[in-house]
Amino acid sequence: MDATPSSALSTAKADWFRAFRLIASPFRIRDERGGDTAAREVLLDTAFGPSRLGKTCERLREGRRAASGLSFVAVADGVLVGTVRLWDVEIGDRAGLMLGPIAVDGRLRSAGIGRALMDHALRRARKLGHKGVILVGDAPYYARFGFDPALTEGFDLPGPVERARFLGLELTAGGLKGARGRIVGTGALVEDARGSRRAA
């Protein structure tokens, strides 16, 4: 049976109130938990669409776990509204990190959640002793955090990339200096349902 105009209006009002409550709620950043997986994947699918799994950076993530202690979510009113993860990679002969994906609920994109997630993630990476981070993203946005395409000039990804969007950040002075070569994923392998480790 089709919804009546009054029931459709009631649903629309309920959706509006839920969105307003979410927008009005303060958010907090915390470590990602196992129970966040489904909500995180829905948020990423909504933000990037189904093509996200075909991107070059996904080749470095697939079959691997995110870097230990470097997966974070933003939560507002009990709802997961932001996510960021960093991944262990090797750049030539040097260990590093790859950041991404980062996503924020579209209703809250002007609330400062993206910046808070970035600041938190980079601060934790420095505290853990990591030396450099790479990512593929919008250069003007990430420049505010210190990312620069000049720092990735000697690196190659396992697939096509717009060089102007391939960015690096040194977490310590000279952290990426002199690094050259292909970037490969080095994180811990994900275990399949039988408990055996696999590389995707």
Percent of the chain with pLDDT over 70: 84
pLDDT for res 198 = 43
Q: Which range among 16-25, 46-55, 75-84, 191-200 shows the weakest confidence by mean pLDDT?
A: 191-200
- Predicted confidence at residue 1, as pLDDT, reads 47
Record the pTM. 0.84
**For residues 83 and 32, is the Cβ–Cβ distance under 8 A?**
yes
pLDDT in tens, 121-167: 999 999 999 999 999 999 999 999 999 999 999 999 999 999 999 99
CB 71 within 8 A of CB 51: no
The lowest-confidence range among 19-33, 94-108, 132-146 is 19-33
Least confident of 40-44, 92-96, 144-148, 191-195: 191-195
Is residue 57 pLDDT above 50, yes or no?
yes
d(CA 84, CA 99): 8
DSSP 37-85: HHHHHHHHHHHH-GGGGGSTTHHHHTTBPPPTT-EEEEEETTEEEEEEE
In this prediction, residue 110 carries a pLDDT of 87
- Residue 192 has a pLDDT of 55
Residue 118's H or E segment, with its range, is helix 113-127
Task: Kindly indicate the confidence band of residue 200, based on its pLDDT and cuts at 50, 70 and 90.
Answer: very low
Whether 109 shows a pLDDT value over 90: the answer reads: no
In this structure, what token pair is assigned to residue 190?
Answer: 């994900």
Residue 99: the pLDDT is 98
Is the pLDDT score of 195 beyond 70?
no
* CATH, domain range 5-193: 3.40.630.30
Looking at residue 23, its pLDDT comes to 63
Look at strands 79-91 and 94-104 and give their pairing: antiparallel
- 101 alpha-carbon distance from chain centroid: 3
Which pLDDT score is estimated for 51? 87
Residue 106, number of CB atoms within 10 A of its CB: 10
- State how far the Cα of 55 lies from the Cα of 110, in Å rounded to an integer: 26
Q: Would you give the DSSP letter of residue 94?
A: E
